[in-house]
Amino acid sequence: MDLPADLAVLSGDGLYLWAPRGAAGSWGLANCLLITSGTDAALIDTPYDERMTRALIAAAAHVLPERAEVRTVVNTHANGDHCFGNVFFPGAEIISTDASLERHCREITPQQMQQLVHGGALGGPLGWYARDRFGAYDYTSVTVVPPTVTFSGSYHFQVGDTDVRLLEVGPAHTAGDLVAHLPQHGVVVAGDVIFAGDHPAHWEGPLAEVVRASEEILALDPQWVVPGHGEVIGQDGVRAYIGYLRDLEGEIKERYGRGLTAYEAAADILATGFHPHLGAPERVVMLTFIEYHHLGGTGEPLEMVELAGHAARWAYDQRHLPADA
């Protein structure tokens, strides 16, 4: 993975993007946005482990105004790659939604991730997948620090002269998603409601709700949208992403109507070459299981490890197939 030594200027007036990059289909490399104004600073999302967070802090030191420090952290949702770094900003106010705080009890903890990835007890496709996709991360020094301020609906605060407007858009990617709108800059930070460059991973759904949340982002009329993962996009990129979601929803519903199982449906969709330019195709398996769950209308939300297990099974079976198979 590439941990940037410097932040990219997103706006010449105090917005800086920390954008780690890796191979197509990487997990855990979330975008983080630093907002500075006067002697005040805020950070939207924090990285996945200590090494990544220390790299962000070092990069931020190059652009933070004198005497400025990060006093406010916003978590767009409760997935660890957007909030595990909270612990390395002691004393900061941490803002998220009420539903995101509730979601923390269902999230995989750093200790569980360390055991799953490095403990050696997990075998089969899921063990292989965990080590292959998450082996670069070390969670031993991470302690979960939940939000200290939560809200439902909307929440506004100032970073110096910069207005930050938080809008609850979940359930979509997770139950507690929010997006951050910076109207003075024409920027929306979308969290994992939007992915760019890879197939998305969503834990809550259904896809129609992710479409709704994406349309709420468009309604803010941004010039730039920072996705949870991938390159910054404009409104046309959001519209293309909505098109992807609607395509996938239609493909899944058609196979559900034919009586295929969720795994059969996902494998069949991928066999047709569904959006082959995107990385992490195994995430289509997860999305299909979630959509089937909602179409069936029964039971509690599916657990993250269960969904990851279905995706790992498909990815494991593809390891030695020709690229054009």
Instruction: List, for residues 40-95, the tens digit of each pLDDT value.
Output: 999 999 999 999 999 999 999 999 988 889 999 999 999 999 999 999 999 999 99
Residue 268 in domain: yes
Asked if residue 273 is part of any domain, the answer here is yes
> 262 in a domain, yes or no?
yes
The DSSP 8-state label assigned to residue 14 in this structure reads T
In the block, residue with structure tokens 């198979």: 325
Task: Please indicate, yes or no, if residue 169 is contained in any of the structural domains.
Answer: yes
Give yes or no for residue 26 having a pLDDT over 50.
Answer: yes
Average pLDDT in the 216-233 region?
Answer: 98
Residues in the chain: 325
Domain count, the chain: 1
Amino acid residing at 309: G
- pLDDT tops 50 at residue 325: no
Q: What are 92-120's pLDDT values in tens digits? A: 999 999 999 987 767 899 999 999 999 88
Residue 110: which domain range?
8-317
Measured CA to CA, the distance from residue 112 to residue 128 in angstroms comes to 16
Inside any domain, residue 226: yes
Cα–Cα nearest to 37, from 157, 156, 158: 158
Tokens linked to 201: 């991973």
What CATH number should be reported for the domain holding residue 36? 3.60.15.10
Nearest to 273 by CA among 325, 230, 315: 325
User: Does residue 290 form part of some domain?
Assistant: yes
Render pLDDT for 118-173 as a digit per residue (tens, 0 to 9).
Answer: 988 788 999 999 999 999 999 999 999 999 999 999 999 999 999 999 999 999 99
> Is residue 324, in this structure, part of any structural domain at all?
no
8 Å CB contact between 60 and 73: no
- Establish if 3 belongs to a structural domain: no
